[in-house]
């Protein structure tokens, strides 16, 4: 049983005009086994929260903190956070020319486990996960995200999640740009890992569409850099009907 708890988190981002406060006191606690949907309009700071938790260098914690099983993440390096089981699937995954998917996955697994995976079981695991995600075998030989379609990038994020088995997965708009078939395959992947490992999931999304496939236990409305309301799945239905206006003071 693990807990990710975010307490009065304030984060600023480096911009050309200087540092700007984006997160203004986020409070949120996620336990293993729970799926929390974070729903909010564009520009509300959802990706900023994801990056700050993962330890992106441009995002600075200027107040409050987040804790992984009681340990302050501010005091942990990016590597330490990943080793502690925190995983981020980015909204805009980056391309890495010259590094194959297969090498990338093995390097990540080795870094997180602190030792190289046993080659025979590893090859089998990768193949099984790729089959699950309906990825062709030759995908493993391609450079990471170079020339990948939106759907392929998102599948690679879920493939990583499947192989790294995090205790907390932050999925930032994993649904964006997916057609219905890809959305279903990616969602099934998330559900499979969640079902097998009991990881906690922070599912950041702009739309309710993905919630037809991944069923959150908790739903949070995220506006203006903080959580404005929290509830159960019924809150997502309400947002679908009414939008975010009332939370924005409109």
Binding residues for ligand ADP, per CB under 6 A?
13, 15, 22, 40, 42-48, 58
CB 21, min distance to ligand ADP, A: 9
Q: Tell me if 42 contacts Mg ion by CB under 5 A.
A: yes
> Between 46 and 153, whose beta carbon lies closer to ligand ADP?
46
Stretch of 43-51, 99-107, 112-120, 216-224 contacting Mg ion, by CB under 5 A:
43-51
DSSP string computed for 132-180: HTT--GGGGGSEETTT--HHHHHHHHHHHHHHH--SEEEEESTTTT--H
CB 31, min distance to ligand ADP, A: 24
**Among Mg ion, ligand ADP, none, partner that 235 touches (CB below 5 to 8 angstroms by kind):** none
Q: Of 73, 67, 37, which is closest to residue 171 (Cα–Cα)?
A: 37
CB 174, min distance to Mg ion, A: 11
List 12, 47, 174, 205, residue binding Mg ion (CB under 5 A): 47
Q: Of 30, 26, 37, 34, which is closest to residue 65 (Cα–Cα)?
A: 26
In terms of Cβ atoms closer than 10 Å to its own Cβ (0-12, 13-18, 19+), residue 250 is exposed
**Among ligand ADP, Mg ion, none, partner that 219 touches (CB below 5 to 8 angstroms by kind):** none
What is the pairing mode between strands 86-89 and 168-172? Answer: parallel
Q: Which residues contact Mg ion (rule: CB under 5 A)?
A: 42, 46-47, 91
């Amino acid at each position: 049983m693990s807990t990710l708890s975010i307490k009065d988190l304030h984060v600023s981002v480096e911009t050309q005009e200087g540092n700007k406060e984006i997160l203004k006191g986020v409070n949120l606690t996620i336990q293993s086994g729970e799926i929390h949907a974070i729903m909010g309009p564009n520009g509300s700071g959802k990706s900023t929260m994801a990056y700050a938790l993962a330890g992106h260098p441009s995002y600075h914690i200027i107040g409050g903190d987040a804790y992984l099983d009681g340990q302050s993440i501010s005091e942990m390096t990016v590597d330490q956070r990943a080793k502690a089981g925190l995983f981020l699937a980015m909204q805009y995954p980056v391309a890495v020319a010259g590094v194959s998917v297969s090498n990338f996955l093995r390097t990540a697994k080795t870094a997180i486990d602190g030792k190289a995976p046993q080659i025979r079981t590893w090859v089998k695991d990768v193949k099984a996960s790729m089959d699950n995600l309906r990825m062709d075998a030759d995908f493993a030989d391609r450079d990471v995200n170079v020339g990948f379609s939106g759907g392929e990038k998102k599948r690679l994020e879920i493939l990583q999640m499947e192989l790294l088995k995090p205790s907390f997965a932050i999925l930032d708009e994993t649904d964006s740009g997916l057609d219905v078939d890809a959305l279903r395959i990616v969602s099934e992947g998330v559900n499979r890992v969640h079902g097998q490992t009991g990881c906690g999931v922070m599912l950041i999304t702009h739309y309710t569409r993905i919630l037809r496939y991944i069923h959150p236990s908790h739903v949070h409305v995220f506006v203006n850099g903080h959580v404005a309301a929290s509830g159960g799945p019924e809150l997502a239905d309400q947002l679908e009907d009414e939008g975010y206006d009332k939370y924005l003071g409109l």
